[in-house]
Structures are given as structure tokens and as C-alpha cells.
Amino acid sequence: MNVYTRPQLWWRAAMVAVGVLGLLTGSHRIVFYTSQSNIIVLGYYAGVLYWMVRRGTTDPAAPRLRGAVTLWILITGLVAHFVTNHGENPLPGLLDGDPAALLANRSTFLLHYVVPVMALVDWLAFGPHRVVRWRDLPLWLCFPLGYGLSSVARAIAFPEVPNRYPYFFLDPTEHGYGWVALWLVLLGLGFAALGALVIGLDRLASLRPRAAAPATASSG
């Protein structure tokens, strides 16, 4: 198999390039979930690209981890759009007249929208399918929920740290920790539903008819 002719290689290389561009052209501190999830995507798919070239295969390494990575980056896009930006259309920001704001908006757009969509397309279009199991879902939730809990613990332990509360729903200043806990429960339920959707879409994608293998000439 000549892996360099396969769309999987170039799609994943483009995803890594877009993620790198987004991280390098904006001010993205590691304390934010957006930065962490995109770095995970970059690390995973960079490893996949190495695996594909080294082994001459289109199948990704650690395919069950791919499901978790897909969920984590989809959380980035959906929370950014619906929770922190309240569903605001991001496209006008891509034409901002201020060069600094324009660069920042384009960087954020790449990380919040382009990388998540590319990861979802990769999940649906390319195999292997039916590798992940429903029992994987609780493990997938450990990272986003652990991020929320560790962010609250960090704010308590280091009150003077910059970006003490990376997101408004982690800030107990006005409403208390019960309000933060409620947000974490609601987000956790949403993430679980999204993870179930990711697995369900994988099952549906596996039902697509596969292209027939090219016939080989008989010998003799």
C-alpha cells in the first residue's frame, strides 16, 4: 500500500497543520481546556501520521483512543460556541478591521471550529469502525470532568494565579460552589450524551457499503 496516495494521510496532516497554526497565531495559555484539547489532538494525530508512514497503513494507532480524542475536541467546539459565546456567529470576527483582533479571531476560529469539524469528519469518514466500546465512555469523561475539578482546586490552592478561573462556570465568587457543582453535573451529563452520540455515529458509519477491492488478473 502506498500510504502517500491515501486521503487519510493528507487529511490528518492538514488537521495537524491547522491546529499548529491556530495555537501559534493566538495567545492560548495551557490553563484553558481549548489549548489542552487541541494539543492532545496534535499529539495524537502526529503520532498517527508517523505510524501510518512507518507501517504503510491507513489504520490509526490506538484506535480506541481516537474516540476519546474526538469527543474531547468536540467538547471544545460546542462549549465555546454555545456556552461561552452564547451561540454568537463567529464569522464576522474573521473580517475584523483591527489586525490584532483579526489574528486572534482567526486563531480562535481554527481551534474552536475547524479542528473539531476536521476531527469529526475523520471519525466518520475513515476507519476502523466499531472498535470503541460503550464501556469506554466513562473513561473518556475523566479528562473533561477532571479538568473542571482540577481547575477549581488550582484556584483554591493558588488564589493569585493568572486566569484563576478559566471559565465563568468554574467561578464561585458570585453564586458559590454549589452553583459550580451544578454546572459540572450538567456539563458532565451533556458530555456523556455527546460521547454516546460519537459512538452511535461510529456504528452508523460502519454500515456504509465498502468499495469492492480491485480485481486481480488470474495467472496462467
Claim: this prediction has a pTM higher than 0.95:
no
Q: What is the pLDDT of residues 59-96, one digit of tens each?
A: 888 999 999 999 999 999 999 999 999 999 999 999 99
B/e letters for 184-218, b = 16+ CB within 10 Å, e = fewer, are beebeebbbebbeebbeebeeeeeeeeeeeeeeee
Mean pLDDT of the chain: 93
By residue range, what is the domain housing residue 199?
3-205
In percent, how much of the chain has pLDDT > 70? 94
Q: How far is CA 87 from the centre of its chain?
A: 18
**Does a structural domain hold residue 37?**
yes
Q: Is residue 218 one of the residues assigned to a domain?
A: no
| Domain-embedded: residue 211 | no
pLDDT at 152 over 60: yes
Total number of domains constituting the chain: 1
| The pLDDT of residue 139 | 97
- Let me know if residue 214 belongs to a domain: no
In a domain, 118, yes or no: yes
> Does the pLDDT value for residue 215 go beyond 60?
no
- For residue 216, tell me if it sits in a domain: no
Residue 199 · residue 148 · CB < 8 Å: no
pLDDT in tens, 92-123: 999 998 999 999 999 999 999 999 999 999 99
Query: Does any domain span residue 210?
Result: no
Q: Is residue 219 in some structural domain?
A: no
